[in-house]
Amino acid sequence: MITVKYSKLNDARFLSHLDMQTILQRTIKRAGFTPVFTMGFNPRPVFKMSKPLPLGVASRCEYFSVDIHDISREDFLERAKLQTPKGIELLNAWITEKDPKVYNLGVISEYEIKSEHLNYNKIEKLKEKIKTDFIIPKKQKKKYIDENVSDLIFDIKYIENKTVVCLMSDEGLNLRINDFLNGVNYLFSINISIKNAIKTAQYINKKMISIDTYLSTLAEVKK
């Protein structure tokens, strides 16, 4: 099993999760690799992806796993990189004995937000607000309801003219970056677009062990 880290930037951020699945599987095929297929009446490639990104959000830390026999990470990256479309770049790869289940790994997602509407004072005010309640307007059916998502904001800080926020996604609880920004816009009466946000890291637990570190550990075990 090989797991690949890739970025999704510029116009590629408007590709849906299903579009990305098709593009990545075609990339693998065009690079000359044949994945293992599932058994049964409707065989499919053994191929899995990390959790879907909201449409329009850029990322430097997405992952997919595919089962290919007798492969090296160097050969895969060298050949597959030549087949990826603009906006998608393969960054790293790990060979593991078992399926790392990338869909379930991203318990905490880290985002950087750059906007003239945010500054140190506003983030400090937001941190105080989060201690009690942080309300986001969430659409249900044809109307919006207010939801308190304070417990889903793991950390937030203002560093070097940018906001860094870590959002939880675990056990059925999920705070997406677009919903978080809606809450910030609602609180401060501003208008920050998801174009101002980029996902920079994913962590497997509250100890902030990155997916990269976890995959490196699994790859070492295989050796």
Q: How far, in Å, CA of 156 to CA of 162, rounded?
A: 11
pLDDT at 159: 95
Cα 65 to Cα 2, 37, 152, 161, 194: the distances in Å are 6, 13, 27, 35, 27
Confidence of residue 222 (pLDDT cuts 50, 70, 90): low
pLDDT per position as a tens digit, 137-164: 777 777 888 889 999 999 999 999 999 9
Cα 71 to Cα 15, 33, 206: the distances in Å are 28, 9, 33
Amino acid at 38: T
Lowest-pLDDT range of 68-72, 141-145, 176-180: 141-145
Max Cα distance, the chain (Å): 59
What CATH number does domain 2-105+209-222 carry, 3.30.450.20, 3.20.10.10, 3.40.640.10, 3.30.70.580? Answer: 3.30.70.580
Q: How far, in Å, CA of 177 to CA of 180, rounded?
A: 5
Mean of per-residue pLDDT scores for the chain: 92
Residue whose tokens read 């994913």: 202
Q: How far, in Å, CA of 208 to CA of 223, rounded?
A: 25
Residue whose tokens read 């997602």: 109
pLDDT per position as a tens digit, 44-67: 889 999 999 999 999 999 999 999
Contacts of 105 (CB under 8 A, 6+ apart): 50, 63, 202, 204, 211, 214
pLDDT per position as a tens digit, 11-27: 999 999 999 999 999 99
Q: At residue 170, does pLDDT exceed 80? A: no
Q: At residue 171, does pLDDT exceed 90? A: no
Domain boundaries, the chain: 2-105+209-222, 108-203
Confidence of residue 223 (pLDDT cuts 50, 70, 90): low
Q: At residue 104, does pLDDT exceed 80? A: yes
Structure tokens, 128: 């105080």
